[in-house]
A = this chain, B = another copy of it.
């Protein structure tokens, strides 16, 4: 949903790939596969059925056009995917696939899997930016800068003080990420209306087994309880916000009249050859503001009516991927900005 050239600036290909169809469909099949194994383990389906399902999930090439049309018609991809999956499995095991599950079981668990990969990537990038900030502090921490409060020169302080203000929230975000990973990235298994009845008393065991196989947390079905999703969005918006603050600060310091920072590779103007625009700093501010708005919208999806709201759920799908990509882009820009910058001591 964005001019591609602008995507190069404000997007993030690596994160976008985590929400692309390839990864998404692979995650869905991983979940169907894990479900089959867990159901075999508790005797709900035969071991050979599970083997056949796992094998087909590993190799199945899905008809994407059909998935596309199915998604448009059904509002979710799963009915058509299960149809294709069962056709590929063939008799006598076709019916053992997706047994007892509802679309949301598969989609929410797959989302948790995709978010797990996202969290790994985000955490790596947070660590990387923190390393860059720490290195910078080691190199230039003693540089004396002017602190500014309410847009006015206040008192001198050191680059170390400034860098700490940038780094500390990111350090806390790593803790938040670890906590959110545990609490929010959970298997979703509940069957049609979330009661687990379709799993004939085995839902807790299936959830535990799938959590173990997929590296997710176990929790009772949470179909219509979207607080964990809101937590994920909050984490992403926090990250983009903190990087937006770094961008805003860098932009202020890079003003010609202030000149407290020197940036590598600033942008050129088509009209003024003398300009060296702090493009990365500005993009960080834009990303933070975009992210804040998206999280405000994601919170609207907490009003998830009855046992499954197509409206609220679809809204999550619209908001979460750009929220993730925005956080990823912010970390990418943050790293580049920090890496190439040098402080200029007060005159």
Contact = CB atoms under 8 A, between A and B. Distances in A.
B151 A255 contact: yes
B245 A193 contact: no
A339 interface: no
A27 to B, nearest CB: 11
A55 to B, nearest CB: 21
Contacts of A303: 241, 244-245, 247-248, 285, 288-289
B267 A76 contact: yes
Contacts of A16: 1
A307 B75 contact: no
A334 interface: no
Nearest to A81: B270
Contacts of A315: 285-286, 289-290
A281 to B, nearest CB: 8
Interface residues of A, number: 136
B1 A325 contact: yes
Interface string A123-165: 0000000000000000000000001111111110110010011
Interface stretch (A34-42, A43-51, A203-211, A291-299): A291-299
A224 interface: yes
A14 interface: no
Contact of A271 (B77, B198, B291): B198
A344 to B, nearest CB: 13
Interface string A64-84: 000110011111111100100
A87 interface: no
A178 interface: no
Given A168-B220, A282-B310, A241 B299 contact: yes
Given A3-B19, A270-B98, A306 B193 contact: no
A58 interface: no
A157 B2 CA distance: 35
A19 B2 contact: yes
Interface string A270-284: 111001111101110
Given A193-B155, A300-B293, A303-B248, A267 B74 contact: yes
A268 B6 contact: no
The 9 A-B residue pairs with the shortest CB-CB distance, nearest first, are A296-B296, A241-B302, A293-B297, A282-B310, A292-B299, A75-B279, A149-B308, A147-B193, A285-B311
21 contacts: A6-B314, A8-B68, A75-B267, A103-B269, A103-B270, A149-B277, A149-B306, A150-B277, A150-B282, A151-B255, A151-B277, A153-B256, A154-B193, A161-B193, A192-B272, A282-B309, A286-B314, A289-B300, A293-B293, A293-B297, A294-B297
